[in-house]
Amino acid sequence: MNTLVYIVTSWQTGFMASTEYWIVKLGFEPVYMLLNPYSVYKIFTAMFTHANLLHIFFNMYFLYLFGRAVERALGHARYLALYLLSGVMAALFHTVFMFIQDPNGLAVPSVGASGAISGVLGAYMILFPGTRLAACFFLFIFPVCFELLAAYYLVFWFALQVLEGYFSSTSTVAFFAHAGGFIAGMALLPLLADRARLEAMRLYAGARRLFGIIVFLPQFYRHRGLNAPTKAVLLTLIGMLLAGSAAALAFTGSTHIEFASYSIAWRPGGGTVHQDIAFLGVAKARELATPLLEATQTLPARVLVKALEYNGLLYNPRLAGSHLVLGSKQLRSVKVEVPVSPFQTVSVLVKPFYFEGRYNQAGFLENSYTQATVIAMGELASVEARLTLTTLKSPKPLIESMALLAVLTSLASMYVVAYRDEDYVITPE
């Protein structure tokens, strides 16, 4: 399925990368789900969509490498359930942690099967911690290979996801989706595992040949499950995710949050009209309002929205229910840094010289007309834009539910690691 979807989304580029059209159409943008729960289906479409050839290659390689053994242990249907449920939980973890770390990232589409595959890795961690993996890398031009227990490799990988997630806020990789999928795979294992099937596989794994006769070696004298240092590291890392989930739950519980979406129609002087969507989020705690979300789908619209926000015109409780008209002397210019490539940004100067807008009773801009001068890379252009409020909703109940689910998943995975690992292990560490 992943490969078929990639063929459909990338054939126009010679199968090198999915087109932007498909990334936006199938990608999961959490802000849409928070404003309209019916768009939750995008969690599943994003789960089978990949950005480029390397993205799908490595995801499918890991799925093949670890998924075959997990599928044999669980059976086809239970394995599919683990895969899909882990992908859903990965998306929820991504939403919860993005909300408290960088709310603007809620409007960025995410794609890939990484979260679902991470759940497969989590299940593999409990089922086959003692499997020996061969890892290779190049030292200059010479290949260097060594063997490593699956438990150690997966703990190291999991640690990278958690630490990168907390300390790499500017990364485009959804690290918390990986981490959330991983612990979801461990937490779901007791619900999906067939004990009789695991016992049969455990007996088969313990079989040895002695003088041509198959002998089943007793497992009771061997250490089963994860050893103490591995458990300690795993529990510490899961505890970090638990702390973040609890922090999100506490924040939403003590704060009033409102998200707004706007449709934008903007046109350069004498040019064609362009359509865009913008989002605004505000958190109110103890009568103080803090902007949470300020994002658009295209860069040209971003500079216009930034200019309005800079002038306090997107959200202002003091303007509730009013109609406002401002001229050039009352409007301030703003310089916006716009990324044009991963390695280059361009400074864009926006000088609004006319604004007319009406506000609702909550202080959100309801509709407006703006004229501005935009200077970018030495070129000057006049722009006019209209903003219309399309949705205003509090995502608080949904975020609270997801944060609570993340807390419960973290606790369940800690319980499995600490007390139930020996019940499901096939290949002991």
Percent of the chain with pLDDT over 70: 93
Q: Looking at the structure, do residues 154 and 54 belong to the same domain, yes or no?
A: yes
213 and 288 part of one domain: no
- The reply to whether 257 falls in a domain is no
| Range 97-124 average pLDDT | 92
Q: What is the mean pLDDT of residues 27-56?
A: 93
Kindly tell me if the per-residue pLDDT of 208 is higher than 60: no
Residue 163's identity, in one-letter code, is: L
Q: What is the pLDDT of residues 174-196, one digit of tens each?
A: 899 999 999 999 999 999 999 88
Q: Is the dihedral of CA 416, 419, 423, 428 positive or negative?
A: positive
Would 202 be classed as within a structural domain?
yes
Helix (H) or strand (E) holding 428: none
Cα four-point dihedral sign 32, 38, 40, 41: negative
Both 238 and 318 in a single domain?
no
Using the predicted structure, report yes or no on whether residue 47 has a pLDDT greater than 70.
Answer: yes
d(CA 48, CA 26): 9
Number of C-beta neighbours around residue 396 at 10 A: 17
Which residues, including other chains, have CB under 8 Å from residue 391's CB and lie 6 or more apart?
A: 35, 36, 259, 260, 261
For the segment 6-11, the average pLDDT, to the nearest whole number, is 95
Residue 224 lies in a domain: yes
Sequence-separated contacts (24+) of 195-203 with Cβ below 8 Å: 195/423, 197/73, 197/74, 197/75, 198/73, 198/127, 198/424, 198/426, 201/72, 201/73, 201/426, 202/425, 202/426
Instruction: Tell me if 429 is assigned to some domain.
Output: no
353 vs 372: CA distance, rounded Å:
5
Do 316 and 228 fall within a single domain?
A: no
Does the pLDDT at position 159 exceed 50? yes
Q: Tell me: do 270 and 388 sit in the same domain.
A: yes
Least confident of 301-305, 356-360, 416-420: 301-305
Instruction: Report pLDDT for 60.
Output: 96
The answer on 157 and 46 residing in a single domain is yes
Question: Lowest-confidence range among 62-76, 125-139, 252-266?
Answer: 125-139
275, amino acid identity: Q
Query: Given this model, what pLDDT does residue 152 score?
Result: 93
Q: What is the pTM of this model?
A: 0.88
Give the per-residue pLDDT at 287.
61
Mean pLDDT, all residues of the chain: 88
Amino acid 342: pLDDT: 59
Same domain, 272 and 198: no
Q: pLDDT at position 136, please?
A: 78
Residue 258 lies in a domain: no
Answer yes or no: do 67 and 174 share one domain: yes
Residue type, 354: Y
Q: What is the pLDDT of residue 195?
A: 87
Q: What is the mean pLDDT of the segment spanning 135-153?
A: 83
Angle at the Cα of 374 from the Cα atoms of 299 and 359, rounded to 5 degrees: 75
User: 341-399 pLDDT, tens per residue?
Assistant: 656 777 888 899 999 999 999 899 999 999 988 887 777 888 889 999 999 999 999 99
Residues 91 and 73 in one domain: yes
Q: Burial of 342 by CB count in 10 Å (0-12 exposed, 13-18 middle, 19+ buried)? A: exposed
pLDDT, average across residues 244-252? 93
* Stretch 295-319: mean pLDDT: 84
**Quick check: 148 pLDDT over 60?**
yes
Q: Is the per-residue pLDDT at 4 higher than 50?
A: yes
| Structural domains of the chain, count | 2
The band of 220, judged by pLDDT with boundaries at 50, 70 and 90, is: very low
Instruction: Return the pLDDT at 381.
Output: 82
What H or E segment, with its residue span, contains residue 117? helix 114-127
Q: Does residue 89 carry a pLDDT above 50?
A: yes
Domain span holding position 301: 263-394
Answer whether residue 267 is part of any domain.
yes
Helix ranges (DSSP H) in 193-298? 195-205, 228-253
Based on the domain organization, do 244 and 273 belong to the same domain? no
Chain centroid to CA 263: 25
Residue 221 scores a pLDDT above 60? no
Residue 222 has pLDDT above 60, yes or no: no
Give the bridge partners for 149, in sequence order.
Answer: 132
Q: What is the CA 214 to chain-centroid distance, rounded?
A: 48
Same domain? 267 vs 244 = no
- Residue 326 inside a domain? The answer is yes
Instruction: Indicate whether 166 and 272 sit together in one domain.
Output: no
| Chain Cα centroid distance, residue 109 | 9
- Answer whether 215's CB lies under 8 Å from 209's CB: yes
233-262 mean pLDDT? 93
- The answer to whether residue 132 sits within a structural domain is yes
The band of 327, judged by pLDDT with boundaries at 50, 70 and 90, is very high
- The two tokens of residue 290 are 């803090």
- When mean pLDDT is compared across 251-255, 258-262, 270-274, 290-294, the lowest value belongs to 290-294
Instruction: Give the confidence band of 59 by pLDDT, cuts at 50, 70, 90.
Output: very high
45 falls in which pLDDT band (50, 70, 90)?
very high
Q: Would you place residue 170 in the very low, low, confident or very high pLDDT band (cuts 50, 70, 90)? A: low
- What are the residues facing 250 on neighbouring strands? none
